Structure 1
């Protein structure tokens, strides 16, 4: 066996990904009439590889006619066992006769299978999925995304703090391309504080691509703008979050996702997004407590579980915003600042929609938009805020969630 870079790997721990290369013609090719070019399709790379559940593999075929690489030939990739998915089902061969796709393995550990078909010929690929190891950092191809597996029912994600700007990915030409400065570091610090307080790690998912190249908090058309490399990174980033979501659901019955971002508004306050619009939050509590608001939010599951009214979860004294205010960080919505009024406000983005509980599932999600001054501007301020946020998350979950982790040293707001 050999080891190959180019798809999911893990760093700082022993690498387990085995990348067996098998080159050989398909058995059982039918007889060919004289004068008709002989087509062959063979597995060229990515057969027999191993990665984590939900991780990406790169099955690659080589197509030849009469032994010569065949360019422009359509290859269809289909998953036949394992509930995985492919980023692109139909791929044309290049000048070297090769064609590849991104194969995201399904949620269950074990051997999974994919078939690549060219005309009447086909070749089967196998891939083995295994569950992630706690504390291990796994990397997508080209290090464009990172997943650190955890034990807590908490997921921290950061999609807009990356720095990589590979020339192979064209700059995005529409949508926002400004980096959310220092949000990767902020997310890592929040994760570290949660571990310090509980003795266990949260799950952590990071996009390392600069927002000029990829915006994983948008649907794929705006996010990647036609770049295959960017599209692959988008798929792998969200597959990492889904792997984490399945883990917290399997081990805890549900969980909580904090999607970390940064805003550049003049108002220096935190914005917490629940997929509720400004007009929703501008309603009085009696209206916000109507079931339709919880059902349309990214914390739908929490609204079903909590014994408190929905308005109390979002902006009551024990809401996440109010718990942060009690620790010295102005936030909206909160008891002291219940609604944005006419001011601009981020309601939540693609990540909150896709991975929150609005459309089902047991993982609630909140988008954090952190102001710069006093929160993201210096390492000291980032550390201080991370400590406050970790405490607030744990206290919030202890009140409103059935999946709250135990904390050995959380200082509750207002406790001497």
Structure 2
């Protein structure tokens, strides 16, 4: 029979009886959104490219919503990372950035709060996206008086094209009133410059001013909330990039060209407003 476990041994090895590994910190909603404060009157938003599952938030199911979607806008988050880096390189300053890292299956921040999620547990994640986006718009308006918000999305209907979404010019009201249609589709506009670089834009730059945007891609909750027809007063464009433009081997080029287009727009329409 072996020796009984002595009191001295218990003093030497107390942790054998009581040690429990520390539980990892629970993830916070802010961990699921990438945010950057900027130094330019340029805001970049990407709500649908996230890959993280949210613990304890069930996946959404269709509840009578029109155009219900849960699929990821593939490579939009990665494209925005490259876009931001290229803008910083060309303008030597930082755009404001808000990028969702959570799966769209859990919530869709490009919808109103009432339609975005089906579990109250998703509310903090919704706020973690919209609070910094609203703060960015307010900061840009206060400092510069105007600015541009590009809300980056993906679509597969027109795979080699970019669809403009401004709710048929509603969300760029101030830009149109101030500079005319040239600032929206001309050679120094963001999408006009992309067209000049060889991209197909819908509606095209040479179309009539009254030409309607593609019905599925006219712009959702984000541009409707922060566009210049609202008190935020930031001109907002939903940029719907076709599948081919977001492919793994192509999105870096698309991002670089889009950054160049942002630079051209900034020089033409925003640079003189910097305080």
| TM-score of Structure 1 vs Structure 2, range by shorter chain | 0.7 to 0.9
Q: How far apart are the structure 2 equivalents of 1:203 and 1:343?
A: 27
Question: Residue 248 of structure 1 is aligned with which of 123, 140, 162?
Answer: 140
**TM-aligned CA deviation for residue 402 of structure 1:** 6.3
Query: 1:197-212 residue pairs with structure 2 within 5 A?
Result: 197-212=90-105
Question: Residue 332 of structure 1 is aligned with which of 179, 182, 202?
Answer: 202
Question: Residue 220 of structure 2 is aligned with which of 321, 330, 349?
Answer: 349
Q: How far apart are the structure 2 equivalents of 1:342 and 1:216?
A: 22
Query: Is it true that 1:180 corresponds to 2:50 in the alignment?
Result: no
Question: Residue 106 of structure 2 is aligned with which of 201, 206, 213?
Answer: 213
The Cα offsets for residues 112-151 of structure 1, whole Å up to 9 and x where unpaired, read as xxxxxxxxxxxxxxxxxxxxxxxxxxxx636122211121
Contact 2:219 2:238 (C-alpha < 8 Å) held by counterparts: yes
**TM-aligned CA deviation for residue 334 of structure 1:** 3.0
Question: Residue 150 of structure 2 is aligned with which of 258, 265, 280?
Answer: 258
Contact 1:156 1:202 (C-alpha < 8 Å) held by counterparts: yes
Q: How far apart are the structure 2 equivalents of 1:236 and 1:221?
A: 16
Q: How far apart are the structure 2 equivalents of 1:333 and 1:250?
A: 32
Structure 1 residues 402 and 300 mapped into 2: Cα distance closer, same or farther (>3 Å)? farther
Query: Is it true that 1:149 corresponds to 2:18 in the alignment?
Result: no
Contact 1:305 1:401 (C-alpha < 8 Å) held by counterparts: no
Q: How far apart are the structure 2 equivalents of 1:203 and 1:272?
A: 21
Higher helix fraction (1 or 2): 2
Query: 1:96-175 residue pairs with structure 2 within 5 A?
Result: 141=29, 143-174=31-62, 175=68
**TM-aligned CA deviation for residue 165 of structure 1:** 1.6
Q: How far apart are the structure 2 equivalents of 1:362 and 1:343?
A: 24
Contact 1:273 1:367 (C-alpha < 8 Å) held by counterparts: yes
Superposition TM-score, scaled by structure 1 size: 0.54
**TM-aligned CA deviation for residue 335 of structure 1:** 2.1
SS of the aligned residue for 1:299 comes to helix
Query: 1:183-332 residue pairs with structure 2 within 5 A?
Result: 183-225=76-118, 227-276=119-168, 297-306=170-179, 309-310=180-181, 312-332=182-202
Q: How far apart are the structure 2 equivalents of 1:403 and 1:298?
A: 22
Contact 1:397 1:404 (C-alpha < 8 Å) held by counterparts: no
Higher strand fraction (1 or 2): 1
Q: How far apart are the structure 2 equivalents of 1:343 and 1:275?
A: 10
**TM-aligned CA deviation for residue 266 of structure 1:** 4.2
Q: How far apart are the structure 2 equivalents of 1:148 and 1:343?
A: 31
Query: 1:342-381 residue pairs with structure 2 within 5 A?
Result: 344-373=215-244, 375-378=245-248, 380-381=249-250
Aligned-residue Cα RMSD (Å) equals 2.4
Structure 1 residues 234 and 325 mapped into 2: Cα distance closer, same or farther (>3 Å)? same
